[in-house]
Structure 1
C-alpha cells in the first residue's frame, strides 16, 4: 500500500519537483497546498500519513501553526526551509518535527529523510504503547506484592515519575458520601527519594499559621479535568487560587498538571503534578495519563495508605520523614553528583534514554560534565559490553579529521602506508561520543549527516560503503541555534542530532549542589593524595557558594585538589580562588574575573609544582599527583608558558 504524503509549499515549482520525485519513489501525493487553510482541507479530506511542510506560506499563518495541529492529530511532518532565524528555529524545534530538509537538497536526502521520519513516527507510537503497558504491568506487580501498604503506595507515586516528571505532587482523596477531604503531598529530594510534606512542615516552610491555611484551602479549586499549564499560563491561573499560588511560590514551581481519578467506590482522587521547569508538561503527558487513568483507579483503591493522610481542618500533623523508593528505572551513574532539581532532571533523562538506541545531544558549558553524562548513558545501555569511543572534534587537525572518523585505505593519500580503521568502525556495535560537535568543519558535517541517515561509512580511498551499527552521542558548549543561524552548522544535521537533547546546567545555576560536590571531591582527592581531610569550614563554604564558577564543576574539582595539596589540617580552612576574585562574599564577579579553562589549568599546574618544589617526575612528583605522564606534563608546561620563576 502506498504511503500518502501531503506537500505544503508556497513555491509551485518546488512543489511540482517534490511531487515528481515522490511519485517515482512509489509514494502517493494526496495533494499540494500553499497555505494553512488549504492544507487543513486536504488533511481532513485525505488523512495523509506525513506532511512535507514549508515554514513560510501564503497567508497570515505559517507552517509552524500548521505543525501544532498536525501534532494534535498525530500526523508526522518534515520541515522544508531555506530561510530561518533563531526565533523561528526555536518555535520550529518546539513542535518536535520528524525531520528537517534545507533547500536545496538532493533527491537521495529527501527519500532518506522520509524513511527516517516514518520510522521515528512509528517508533514514537510504539514507544507510547510500550510506556502504557510498562506502567500497567508495574502497577499490577505493586498491587499483587505482599509488602507494606504504605510502601506500595509510595511505589505507585514514584512509578509515575518516569512518565510524568514532577518535583512536587499532591493527591487529594475526596469522599463525597462522608463529606471528607484528605490529602498527601510529597516533595522530590533525590533521584528516588521523596519527603512527605505534612501540615506542620508546610506551615513552617511557607511561614503561615494553621488558621491561615484553613482560610486558603477552601478556594484551592476542584480538579475536574485533565489539563496542564506552563510558565506564564500556570502563574496566571494561580492568581485566583491562593493555595496553589502559595505552593508555587514556596517550592519554586513553574508548571502544573491536574488529573482527576474517579475510584470504583465513588471516591475521587485529585492528582496535581508540579514541576520547577517553565515547560514541564505537554500533550504527550496528557496522552499517557488519559490511558493511565484506568490503571490508577485500582492502584489508589488498593494501595492508598492512611499513614500519609493529612488535613488542614484537623489538628496539624507532622511526618518529618523522607522515603527512599526502590527505583523502577535504571539509576544514573553515581558520579553524577547533586540533588538540585536541575541535576535530577538530567538523571531522569539519562535513565529514560539510556536503554534506547536514540541519538543524544548533550548541551552545556565547558566543565559541566558532558563526558560523564555520555559515559553514564553508555554504561546503562545494552551496548555497555561494547566499546565507547570518545572523539574530541575540536582537537582533530582539519586535514586528518575525515581519516580519523571514517578511516582510510592503504595508498589513498600521501602517508597512508597501511589501512586504518576510523573511529566509527572501532565503535561498531557500541557507542561513539562526538565531543565539541560544533567545531566540526562543514564538509564533514555533510558526511556525518549521511552516516546518521544511512548507518554506513566509506573509508578514504574505499570502493564500497561499510555498514555500521553505532549509537551516536554528541556534545557541544556552543549555542547550536546561533551556529545554524550564522551558517556554521547545518540545520538538517542539527535536527538529526536533536532527537533527545540533554541540557547540563552550569554550576552557578545549581549552587545547592556545591556542598555535596565539595564533599565528594574532598573524599576523592584526600584518598588519592594521602591526606586526612574530611571537611571544610563554614567560611570556606560561604566563599564557594558566593563564587560564580565560570569553569563549572571542573573548576571546583581542580580548586578542591589544589586546596588539599596546600592544606595541612583535617579541615579545609582556606581555599585558593583566582587572585582576581573579589574578597567580598556577596559581590558578583565581573567579566574580567572569569577565567578560561586554560587559565585555570595553568594555575592548577603551577600550584602543584610549587608543592612539589618543581619536581615533575618520580615518586611524589607533579606528574604523579596530576595523574599524567611526565612527557605530557612537560608539554603542557611549555604550551601554557609556565616558567621556573612561576613556581
Structure 2
C-alpha cells in the first residue's frame, strides 16, 4: 500500500503492537510519538498521510490539540481511545476524526478503520475540490454579469452562504479605500430571502446620526486581515471594535468571520460575515476565504474602475429592497420554516444535492427526512430518473435481500417469477433507505458489500449486475450508540456518514409553528372547501406550548383533524392528545435531567397503557401517535420496550 502512517501513542506496548499490525498489512509507519511535540517534528519531516492518535499523551497538550492542527493541514486521523468521559469525547468528535478505535482493539478492527478513514478522506477531498471549483466558477460568472453592484454583491453572498453560513454580512461598510462607496449589508430573513441595509437604514435601526455612524465605520487593524472570532474571541473583539459591537447588539450576532480583500495598489475592502451561533466558524471557512481572495479582488477592482467613470449616486444601494424567492421554486417542496437550524440543514442540502456523494439524514420521526431526500434527488443531475423509497423497518427479515436485490424464479419457495429489486429499480437515479438503523446485522454486511463493489446479485442468480445508484440513508436512531451497542456495523456507519444532514425536532424550532400552521390551514382548508380558515391566538399558544413528540408530521395531522372537525372558519381551541406531553419533555427528577430517549420511552409507555397494549388497529398506540405501526415497533425495539412493561 505504501501509505505513510504516524502513530501518536504514549503507551509503548500499544504503539509497538500497532506498528507490527500496520507493517504486516503493508503500511509504512513513518514514526511513533508519545507527545504532541514529538509528533510535530515527525509530521514536519515525513508528512504522513494518516495519523493514529491517542487522546491522552505525555506533556500538557492532548491528542485533541494535535487533531486541530491535523485538520488544518488536511491530514486524516483516527483516534485511539480508552473509555473517556462524555466531555472529552464531545471535544474529540468536534475535530471531525475519521473514526475511533477503542482500546483494546483487534487487528481486524484496526485495518477496517484505516480502510474506512482512507475512503472518507478521499471522498472529503473530492467533495471539497468539486464544491470549491463550482463556487469559484459561479462567482466568476456573477462578476462578469451586467447588473448593479448591490445585486452583484447579493448574488455572491447567496452563493457563498452554503459554504460560509451567515445571518448578516457587511460588504465594504468599513471602507479601507478612499473611493466614495458606502457599502451594503444583507440580513438573512429565510432560506432565500434577504433584506438590503444601507447607511440610511442603519441610522434608523440604531438611532445614530450620520456623523456618529461614520465613527463606527472607521477601519481598525482587525479589518486588514482575514480572521475568525468565536465565543470569547468575539466578546473581546467587540470591546475594542465599535462596529462589531454595534452589529452584535443591533442584530443579535455572536460570531464573526472577516474576509479581507486586497487590491493591488489600494487599501482593500472587507466582507464581514456574522452568525447568531457563537461557534459556527472554523479553519475550513478561513481556508476557503483565502482561496476566494483572488476572485473577490477582481470584483472590488471592478468597483474602483466603475467609480472612476460613474457618478456616486449610481453606486448607492436601495436599503428598502427585499430579495426573495419562492422556496418551492428551489426544489424544497413541503419544507417550510425560517429557523436557524432548518436553514442550516437547507444550506447543507443545497451543497450536496448536485454531487454524487452519499448522504445520511439524521432526525427524529416526523421531522421530514423523506422530504429532504426527495429534494436532494430533485436538485441533482439524477432528477429525470426515479427515486425509490425503501422503509427498512417495514421489510420482513427473511425478505430483505429479495426486496433490495431481487430474485430469480424458483430462488426460494413462493418465488414464482423473477423479481427486480429496489436497487435495480433505482438504476440511474436515487435509492432512499429510510429507517436504516433497523436493518439486522446480516443485511448490513450485504449492503456494505454493495456499497463497496457497486454491484449486486439477485437471489438464485449467477449474474453480477453493476448498479448506478446514488444512496441516501436516513434514521431516527443514534447510530453512534447503536455502533457502541454492537447493533450497527462501524464500517457501514462510516461508509454512509460521508455527508450528514441533521434535521431539528419541532420543539427546537417552535418559531416555525405559526408558519407551518398557516400553511396547513391553507392546504386543508382548501381541501374541505373552507376559505381562509383562521386560528385564534389562544389556539396558537396551545400549539406552541405542546411538546410535539411526533414533530411536523404530528402537527400536520392535528391541524387536518381540527379543520375537519370545525364547523366554522374560525378555530378557537385545538384538540391535542390527552397525554402527559402537556408538560415539558425534559424534566428534573432528583436533579436528573431526562434524556430525549428517556422522555420518548415514557411517552410511548403511557400511550401503550392507554391503548391496552395494542399497537396496531383502531384505537391502537400507532393510531393514537399518528405513526405507522412499523415505525412504532422499531422505536419500541430501539428503546427496549417490551410488552411486559405495559400494564
State the TM-score, normalizing by the size of structure 2. 0.78
Q: Structure 1 residues 400 and 147 mapped into 2: Cα distance closer, same or farther (>3 Å)?
A: same
Q: Structure 1 residues 481 and 573 mapped into 2: Cα distance closer, same or farther (>3 Å)?
A: same
**Any conservation in 1 of the 2:616–2:623 contact (CA below 8 Å)?**
no
Displacement of 1:511 in angstroms is 2.7
Q: In the alignment, what sits opposite 2:92?
A: 92
Displacement of 1:299 in angstroms is 0.8
Residues 404-441 of structure 1: CA deviation (Å, up to 9, x unaligned): 44556677766666665554444444323222233333
Partner of 2:330, secondary structure, is coil
| Distance in 1 separating the partners of 2:447 and 2:9 | 28
Displacement of 1:326 in angstroms is 11
**Any conservation in 2 of the 1:555–1:600 contact (CA below 8 Å)?**
no
1:288-327 to structure 2, matched below 5 A, reads 288-303=288-303, 319-324=319-324
**Any conservation in 2 of the 1:199–1:318 contact (CA below 8 Å)?**
no
Higher deviation after alignment, 526-535 or 420-429: 420-429
**Any conservation in 1 of the 2:535–2:571 contact (CA below 8 Å)?**
yes
Q: Structure 1 residues 637 and 378 mapped into 2: Cα distance closer, same or farther (>3 Å)?
A: same
**Any conservation in 2 of the 1:156–1:299 contact (CA below 8 Å)?**
no
| Distance in 1 separating the partners of 2:607 and 2:144 | 56
**Any conservation in 2 of the 1:172–1:270 contact (CA below 8 Å)?**
yes
Q: In the alignment, what sits opposite 2:506?
A: 507
Q: In the alignment, what sits opposite 2:642?
A: none
Query: Aligned-residue CA RMSD in angstroms?
Result: 4.3
| Distance in 1 separating the partners of 2:183 and 2:608 | 53
Residues 431-462 of structure 1: CA deviation (Å, up to 9, x unaligned): 23222233333444444444444445566677
1:366-445 to structure 2, matched below 5 A, reads 366-406=365-405, 422-445=421-444
| Distance in 2 separating the partners of 1:514 and 1:293 | 40
Residue 337 (1) aligns with residue 332 (2):
no
Partner of 1:394, secondary structure, is helix
**Any conservation in 1 of the 2:352–2:376 contact (CA below 8 Å)?**
yes
Q: In the alignment, what sits opposite 1:576?
A: 575
Q: In the alignment, what sits opposite 1:561?
A: 560
| Distance in 1 separating the partners of 2:232 and 2:433 | 37
Residue 155 (1) aligns with residue 155 (2):
yes
| Distance in 2 separating the partners of 1:166 and 1:459 | 48
| Distance in 1 separating the partners of 2:140 and 2:4 | 40
**Any conservation in 1 of the 2:172–2:271 contact (CA below 8 Å)?**
yes
| Distance in 2 separating the partners of 1:473 and 1:419 | 26
Residue 637 (1) aligns with residue 618 (2):
yes
Displacement of 1:343 in angstroms is 1.9
Higher deviation after alignment, 247-256 or 531-540: 531-540
Structure 1 stretches of 5 or more lacking a match?
Answer: 311-316, 604-633
Displacement of 1:486 in angstroms is 4.7
Displacement of 1:195 in angstroms is 0.3
State the TM-score, normalizing by the size of structure 1. 0.78
| Distance in 2 separating the partners of 1:131 and 1:574 | 49
Displacement of 1:187 in angstroms is 0.2
| Distance in 1 separating the partners of 2:378 and 2:141 | 27
**Any conservation in 2 of the 1:253–1:276 contact (CA below 8 Å)?**
yes
Residues 240-274 of structure 1: CA deviation (Å, up to 9, x unaligned): 44542342244332321012213346243122101
| Distance in 1 separating the partners of 2:586 and 2:120 | 46
Displacement of 1:13 in angstroms is 6.3
Displacement of 1:24 in angstroms is 5.8
Residue 165 (1) aligns with residue 146 (2):
no
Partner of 2:269, secondary structure, is strand
What is the total number of aligned residue pairs between the two structures?
Answer: 603
Displacement of 1:189 in angstroms is 1.4
| Distance in 2 separating the partners of 1:192 and 1:94 | 29
Residue 244 (1) aligns with residue 225 (2):
no
**Any conservation in 1 of the 2:558–2:576 contact (CA below 8 Å)?**
yes
Q: In the alignment, what sits opposite 1:138?
A: 138
**Any conservation in 1 of the 2:358–2:472 contact (CA below 8 Å)?**
yes
| Distance in 1 separating the partners of 2:110 and 2:407 | 28
Residues 367-424 of structure 1: CA deviation (Å, up to 9, x unaligned): 1111111111122122223332323333334454455445566777666666655544
Displacement of 1:42 in angstroms is 2.3
Residues 142-176 of structure 1: CA deviation (Å, up to 9, x unaligned): 23322334322332333322332211001235556
Displacement of 1:48 in angstroms is 2.0
| Distance in 2 separating the partners of 1:331 and 1:342 | 18
Residues 201-220 of structure 1: CA deviation (Å, up to 9, x unaligned): 44555577778756766697
Higher deviation after alignment, 74-83 or 350-359: 74-83
1:451-470 to structure 2, matched below 5 A, reads 451-457=450-456, 467-470=466-469
**Any conservation in 2 of the 1:81–1:102 contact (CA below 8 Å)?**
yes
Q: Structure 1 residues 45 and 144 mapped into 2: Cα distance closer, same or farther (>3 Å)?
A: closer
**Any conservation in 1 of the 2:131–2:351 contact (CA below 8 Å)?**
no
Q: In the alignment, what sits opposite 1:626?
A: none
| Distance in 2 separating the partners of 1:461 and 1:54 | 47
**Any conservation in 2 of the 1:86–1:482 contact (CA below 8 Å)?**
no
Residue 480 (1) aligns with residue 461 (2):
no
Residues 324-353 of structure 1: CA deviation (Å, up to 9, x unaligned): 4899xx934132112232222221111101
Q: Structure 1 residues 331 and 531 mapped into 2: Cα distance closer, same or farther (>3 Å)?
A: same
Structure 2 stretches of 5 or more lacking a match?
Answer: 588-597, 625-647
Q: Structure 1 residues 552 and 210 mapped into 2: Cα distance closer, same or farther (>3 Å)?
A: farther
| Distance in 2 separating the partners of 1:303 and 1:190 | 29
Displacement of 1:36 in angstroms is 3.6
| Distance in 2 separating the partners of 1:481 and 1:112 | 17
Q: In the alignment, what sits opposite 1:192?
A: 192
Q: Structure 1 residues 263 and 173 mapped into 2: Cα distance closer, same or farther (>3 Å)?
A: farther
Residues 8-41 of structure 1: CA deviation (Å, up to 9, x unaligned): 4556666566555655655433334454443333
Partner of 2:577, secondary structure, is coil
Displacement of 1:134 in angstroms is 3.2
Partner of 2:187, secondary structure, is strand
Partner of 2:172, secondary structure, is strand
Residues 479-499 of structure 1: CA deviation (Å, up to 9, x unaligned): 334444455444444333332
**Any conservation in 1 of the 2:607–2:621 contact (CA below 8 Å)?**
no
| Distance in 1 separating the partners of 2:426 and 2:348 | 23
Displacement of 1:97 in angstroms is 2.8
Q: In the alignment, what sits opposite 2:632?
A: none
Q: Structure 1 residues 601 and 232 mapped into 2: Cα distance closer, same or farther (>3 Å)?
A: farther
Q: In the alignment, what sits opposite 2:357?
A: 358
**Any conservation in 2 of the 1:112–1:454 contact (CA below 8 Å)?**
no
**Any conservation in 1 of the 2:112–2:491 contact (CA below 8 Å)?**
no
Residue 42 (1) aligns with residue 23 (2):
no
